[in-house]
Structure formats: C-alpha cells, structure tokens
Amino acid sequence: MGRADKVILAYSGGVDTSVCIPYLKEEWGVKEVITLAADLGQGDELGPIQKKALDSGASESLVIDGKERFVTDYAFPSIQANALYESRYPLSTALARPMIAKMLVEAAEKYGADAVAHGCTGKGNDQVRFDVGIAALNPSLKVLAPAREWGMSREETIAYGEKFGIPSPVKKSSPFSIDRNLLGRSIEAGPLEDPMVEPPEEIFAMTQAIADTPNEPDYVEIGFEQGIPVSLDGRALGPIALITELNDRVGGHGIGRIDMVENRVVGIKSREIYEAPALLVLIQAHRDLESLTLTADVTQYKQTIEQTYTNLVYQGLWYSPLKTALDAFVKQTQERVSGVVRVKLFKGSASIVGRRSDLSIYSPDLATYTADDQFDHKAAEGFIYIWGLPTRVWAEKTR
Ligand code: ARG
C-alpha cells in the first residue's frame, strides 16, 4: 500500500520538485503524480516547466495563471491591513502560499486526488503555510512532503534524479535561495547566512543600486478606492498592471530593499533580503490615506489588529477563524479610505508629500492658525481641568 494513489504536486521546475516525482512513485508507492505550476508572476517560462514535469514522470502537468487572484484576494487585503511582519517584511512570499494551497486543493478536488504534495524542507515557514492551509481548505486530503523526510544532500538529490532521467543543473547552481513572484523577491542562504555580510549587488533584480538611479525625483499619485489601489497618476489600472508598473517605477529609484534577521515560525532566526518595491510603497501610501480618513480611535485600535493579522499570515494561519474575524474588522474600516496619495521617489526613498480625499475628515477650519480658526479656545480650559483632574488629585494627596 502506497501513501496515496493520486497526488497533485506543487511544481516549480527545479531539481528538488522534479525529484519529488519519481520519489513519490518509487519510494512512497504513489500511482499517479499530476504537477501544478502556479504562475504568480515569477517570470519563469512555463512551457519548458511543463515538459520537464512530464519528462520526470508526471502523468499530467498543469500550469495555472493565478496572478490576478493573487493580487486581488491576497495582496490587496494585506495592504488594507498595512501588513509588515516585524514592522518590515510585507509578506511577499508568505502571501503566495495560501494562494498556492488553494490552487492545489482545487486541482485535487477536480482530478479526484487523495493527496497533495510540496517540496518544502523541514526548516522553513512555507511547509507550515502549505500544510495548515491545505488542512483548512480540505481536511480529508493527505499532505505529502518528501523533501522533509528523504534526508538526501544536494548531491544525493541530483544523483537520485539522474537515475530517473532528470538532468542535473547545467550551470553551477547559485549559492542563494530565491523565491519570486509579482510582489517581490526573497533571497537567502550562501554568504548571506553571515548577518554581517553586505548583500552583493548582483542578487537584486527589481531594484536599482542607488549609484544608478536618476538624479531627478519622480512623483507618482496613487489612487485608492476603499483601501484598494486602483490608479496611478489618474490612470485607472487593473491589479496586475498597477503592481507591475509601480514595481518598475519605484524599483528604478532604488526603493524597496529590506535586509533583516527575522524570526521564523519554527523558532529559527534567519537572515533574509527582500525586494518588494510596489508593495512597500502601497502600504506606506495606504497608511497615510488612513490618517486622513479614519478617526483617531479606529486608526489606533487598528494597529493592534494589524499586528495580529500580520503574524497570522506569516505563521500560516491565513485560513483560520481569527483571521476571518479580523478580515471583517479591516474591511469595515476601509469603507471611506478613498483618495489620492502623492509620493516622491528619489535615491532609495519614497516620501509621502501630499494626500487628498473627498471623504477626508481633516478639518482646515479647526486646524488653521489663521483668523479663519473655528476652534473654541475657551472650551479647552474646561476640558483640560477635567482631563487633568485625576492627576491633580493624586498630586495633592501624595506630595
Ligand atoms: N522568510 C520568508 C518567508 O517566510 C521568505 C522565504 C522564502 N524562501 C526563500 N528561498 N528565500 O516568507
């Protein structure tokens, strides 16, 4: 008896996921492996990937375009929640995993598979996100993770693959481990494992080195409707076009790099380099528009919600009851977060230099220091008396 009959395998075209195909069949008695390559804008050519899967023994090789759903259903809600893990990482990789989990489960249901599989190792966050995501979407499916169990070194993996006609990588493989999609790139391993080592310029692909950025600033006006970015400089754009164009414009000014040591779910600290130009600027601009359109108490309370939300997403709990409840809170707060934010892009930094909204609750009549001032200054005195009363009483009793 094998571990499963028919398996949908999350497939990237790399050696490790390719080796999973014969491994599942030979070692774990799986009768049929169907691969699924999710196109989330990683920029790989998907035609060759399809052939590779079939050559490695897959019975069928699916390539599914998930870009629009990825941005609309995962990135946009995360922007509404201003989600930055440990105040810095905009979850560009983390958001892709629940999307892929959903695509795997949908394929398993469509093709009558009894299990899904992925090529994650046992040290990362992604295995947690896949396993928990899949369990939440369809708890009757088995999850197989061969690379978590096989215990082969890189060389052994390549040698195992060669036995089944999987070609070993032609060029000397890069020391870096890179994950990429439309939202960003995550780069780790190799020399970066020393947190003191400066990231070499060649690892970056979405952001310019400051030395090569224009000497004139660029200004971009980002339009939001109910917390969702919908236009650049007054031009309405669909989700994919908006992210793509903004990545280029922002990245061209050297904006969007992050270098951090982060705390993984499995307890390990890891040094990670990120590029996420559009996503970072969208969160910055969105938060700014909220400052114009939300009340003080909602703005401040939302920050605690945002932190919990971000941790849930990072930790693989996208499909969880608490996350669903927080989604409802965030969605409710976004009703009036519509308007335009003006961002200046220059030499590695994005600065918000203006914002406007028809739904603004900023009141010039109250804020102004000119003769137009409508604020009742005399009312301040009584307010301060009552506001400070407990402190005054305390001081009188204790001095
Ligand atoms: N640490 C990030 C996360 O957990 C990214 C991991 C992606 N993998 C990589 N090869 N860099 O979301």
The structural domains of the chain, with segments of one domain joined by +, span 6-163, 177-356, 364-398
Place of tokens 């196109």: 39
- The string of pLDDT tens digits covering residues 299-338 is 999 999 999 999 999 999 999 999 999 999 999 999 999 9
16 is known as an active-site residue:
yes
Spot the catalytic one: 16, 131, 179, 288.
Answer: 16
Name the pTM for this structure.
0.95
pLDDT at 142 over 80: yes
Q: Count CA within 13 A, CB hemisphere, residue 306.
A: 23
First-residue to last-residue Cα distance in the chain: 81
168 touches 162 (CB < 8 A): yes
Residue 186 Cα to ligand 1 middle (Å): 6
104 band by pLDDT with thresholds 50, 70 and 90? very high
Q: Which of 299, 318, 296, 298 is nearest to 309 (CA)?
A: 318
SS3 state of residue 388: coil
Distance 264 CA to ligand 1 centre (A): 9
Q: Is 126 a catalytic residue?
A: yes
The helix or strand, by DSSP H or E, that contains position 273, with its residue range, turns out to be strand 269-275
pLDDT in tens, 176-229: 999 999 999 999 999 999 999 999 999 999 999 999 999 999 999 999 999 999
The residue whose CA is least distant from atom 8 of ligand 1 is: 179
Residues with CB under 6 A from ligand 1: 93-94, 125, 177-179, 186-188, 272
Token pair of 122, please? 């046992």
- Residue 172: pLDDT band with limits 50, 70, 90: low
Question: Is CATH 3.40.50.620 correct for 6-163?
Answer: yes
pLDDT score of 282 more than 80: yes
Contact in structure between 283 and 92 (CB atoms under 8 Å): no
Q: What is the mean pLDDT of the chain?
A: 95
pLDDT tens-digit map of 8-65: 999 998 889 999 999 999 999 999 999 999 999 998 778 889 999 999 999 999 999 9
The architecture CATH gives domain 364-398 = Up-down Bundle (1.20)
**Confidence at 381, pLDDT banded by 50, 70, 90:** very high
Q: What is the mean pLDDT of residues 143-157?
A: 93
From 84, 97, 126, 261, the mutation candidate for ligand 1 (largest count of ligand atoms within 8 A of CB) is 126
pLDDT at residue number 1? 77
**Cα distances (Å, whole numbers) of residue 361 to 1, 295, 339, 373:** 66, 8, 12, 16
Torsional class of 378: left (φ above 0), alpha (ψ -120 to 50), beta (otherwise): alpha
Q: Model confidence over 286-298: pLDDT tens digits?
A: 999 999 999 999 9
Q: Contact 115/140 with Cβ under 8 angstroms?
A: no
User: What's the pLDDT band for 169 if we cut at 50, 70, 90?
Assistant: confident
Q: Which of 18, 39, 92, 126 is catalytic?
A: 126
Tell which atom from ligand 1 comes closest to the C-alpha of 124. Answer: 4
Residue 209 Cα, ligand 1 centroid: separation in angstroms?
A: 22
Say yes or no to pLDDT of 168 above 90: no
What's the pLDDT score for residue 335?
98
Q: Is there a shared CATH topology between the 6-163 domain and the 364-398 domain?
A: no
Read off the pLDDT band of 74 (50, 70, 90). Answer: very high
* Half-sphere CA count of 278, side-chain side, radius 13 A: 25
- Per-residue confidence (pLDDT) for residue 363, from 0 to 100: 87
Q: What is the Cα–Cα distance from 163 to 275, expressed in whole angstroms? A: 37
- The CATH number assigned to the domain with range 177-356 reads 3.90.1260.10
Nearest to 78 by CA among 243, 310, 398, 356: 310
Instruction: Return the pLDDT at 181.
Output: 96
Confidence class of residue 265 from pLDDT cuts 50, 70 and 90? very high
Instruction: Give the pLDDT confidence of 340-370 residue by residue, as tens digits.
Output: 999 999 999 999 999 999 999 998 888 888 8
